[in-house]
Amino acid sequence: MEQKMEKLFIFGHKSPDTDSITSSMVMENLERKCGNTEAKAYRLGNVNKETEFVLDYFNVNAPEMLEEVEENANVILVDHNSFAQSVQGIEKANILKVVDHHCISNFETASPLFYLAEPVGCTATILYEIYEMNRVEIDPLIAGLMLSAIISDTLLFKSPTCTSKDVEVAKELSRISNIDIESYGMDMLKAGTDLSDYTADELINIDSKEFDANGLKVQVAQVNTASIEDVLKGKQDIENAINKFMESNNTDLFMLAITDIINSNSQVIALGKTDVIEKAFNVTLEDNMAFLPGVVSRKKQIIPVIKENA
Ligand code: MG
Ligand code: MG
Ligand code: MG
């Protein structure tokens, strides 16, 4: 008797980045190759310009949008675990697997699950190991998507989150996909710095994460740019958008990191309980702003210090 397979939803975090989008697609490929024909990738938000570049380059469509999941829906989380960053209804879903490279927070399940987390620079690096574990071959398209995620998350290996494993895996994926890491990577990252089409409201939502810091509801958004000055031309509109966001979400502290990916620095705009920011980074905000030299990683250089000083 043939058993009917149940639907399986695979997705990354809200305000999806290249890793969240491509790792969902890669996980779908892996599940299907392992016989799970109902596995399907989804996204929890709009695709950003960098990811758009990647999908165009490989001529593939973005995953379908997922607004919420029903009770007991079977899901796989990639590139996140925190419920605050996940889909609506996640508390009552049936989480089968998590593949992630973030700290584990606000995470609880009723049933046992497959959970693979590693302190590496990108989810794709962990997925590479799962392909190996399952002895599944990685085809060139999938390798290209995985390589894109590693380049994105590690800012072409320049982020402090990047490990030697990420570099090694990227080299192997470059061989399989026949893609030159440097030239493709620069084009891809550059595509992500084109912020011209975004309104201020959209800009602060391109890559934004909510987390709890000692009872404070904190939101840290980040945009990549080649010119901090250019982004600051819209500072007033950005601050208005942040204030509006904070009011409707009851946010205690909002920080936008405008990250110069050429020189590896960030200019931040902070509103709300900004004494936490001043203490955390040992700065005095001027005009709601501070310059943080050498800071590019929210995960490694921003969130932990905010949590420590909240
Ligand atoms: Mg991500
Ligand atoms: Mg990631
Ligand atoms: Mg990121």
What are the sequence ranges of the domains in the chain?
A: 8-191, 200-309
* 273-289 tens-digit pLDDT: 999 999 999 999 999 99
Q: Report CA(3)–ligand 1 centroid distance (Å).
A: 35
pLDDT confidence tier of residue 20, bands split at 50, 70 and 90 = very high
| List of residues 6+ apart from 90 with CB closer than 8 A | 69, 75, 83
Ligand nearest to the CA of residue 13, numbered in listed order:
1
User: Exposed, middle or buried, 226 (CB in 10 Å: 0-12/13-18/19+)?
Assistant: middle
DSSP string of 234-303? THHHHHHHHHHHHHHHT-SEEEEEEEETTTTEEEEEEEESTHHHHHHHT---BTTEEEEET---IIIIIH
Ligand nearest to the CA of residue 50, numbered in listed order:
3
pLDDT confidence tier of residue 126, bands split at 50, 70 and 90 = very high
Ligand nearest to the CA of residue 155, numbered in listed order:
3
pLDDT score at 3: 57
Q: Report CA(2)–ligand 2 centroid distance (Å).
A: 37
Ligand nearest to the CA of residue 159, numbered in listed order:
3
pLDDT score at 6: 87
User: Of 3.50.50.60, 3.90.1640.10, 3.40.50.300, 3.40.50.2300, which CATH number belongs to 8-191?
Assistant: 3.90.1640.10
pLDDT score at 21: 98
Q: Report CA(198)–ligand 1 centroid distance (Å).
A: 20
Q: Report CA(96)–ligand 2 centroid distance (Å).
A: 19
Ligand nearest to the CA of residue 101, numbered in listed order:
2
In percent, the amount of the chain with pLDDT more than 70 equals 99
pLDDT score at 106: 81
Ligand nearest to the CA of residue 298, numbered in listed order:
3
Instruction: Tell me which residue of 121, 117, 118, 44 sits closest to 75, measured CA to CA.
Output: 44
Ligand nearest to the CA of residue 12, numbered in listed order:
1
Q: Report CA(49)–ligand 2 centroid distance (Å).
A: 16
Instruction: Tell me which residue of 8, 47, 75 sits closest to 198, measured CA to CA.
Output: 47
pLDDT score at 5: 77
Is the distance from CB of 188 to CB of 53 less than 8 angstroms?
yes
Q: Report CA(27)–ligand 2 centroid distance (Å).
A: 14
Ligand nearest to the CA of residue 16, numbered in listed order:
1
Average pLDDT estimate for 217-222: 98
CATH topology of domain 200-309: Diaminopimelate Epimerase; Chain A, domain 1 (3.10.310)
pLDDT confidence tier of residue 4, bands split at 50, 70 and 90 = low
> 2 pLDDT exceeds 70?
no
Instruction: Tell me which residue of 120, 185, 193, 180 sits closest to 156, measured CA to CA.
Output: 185
User: Exposed, middle or buried, 6 (CB in 10 Å: 0-12/13-18/19+)?
Assistant: exposed
* 160-194 tens-digit pLDDT: 999 999 999 999 999 999 999 999 999 999 999 99
Q: Report CA(242)–ligand 2 centroid distance (Å).
A: 24
| pTM, full prediction | 0.93
Q: Report CA(22)–ligand 2 centroid distance (Å).
A: 10
Average pLDDT estimate for 2-23: 90
pLDDT score at 16: 97
All residues with CB under 5 Å from ion ligand 1: 17, 19-20, 79
* 240-255 tens-digit pLDDT: 999 999 999 999 999 9
In percent, the amount of the chain with pLDDT more than 90 equals 96
Average pLDDT estimate for 104-114: 91
Which of the two residues, 108 and 42, has the higher pLDDT score?
Answer: 42
The structure tokens listed for 246 are 């904070």
Q: Report CA(149)–ligand 1 centroid distance (Å).
A: 9
Q: Report CA(298)–ligand 3 centroid distance (Å).
A: 7
* 24-73 tens-digit pLDDT: 999 999 999 999 999 999 999 999 999 999 999 999 999 999 999 999 99
Mean pLDDT over the full length of the chain: 96
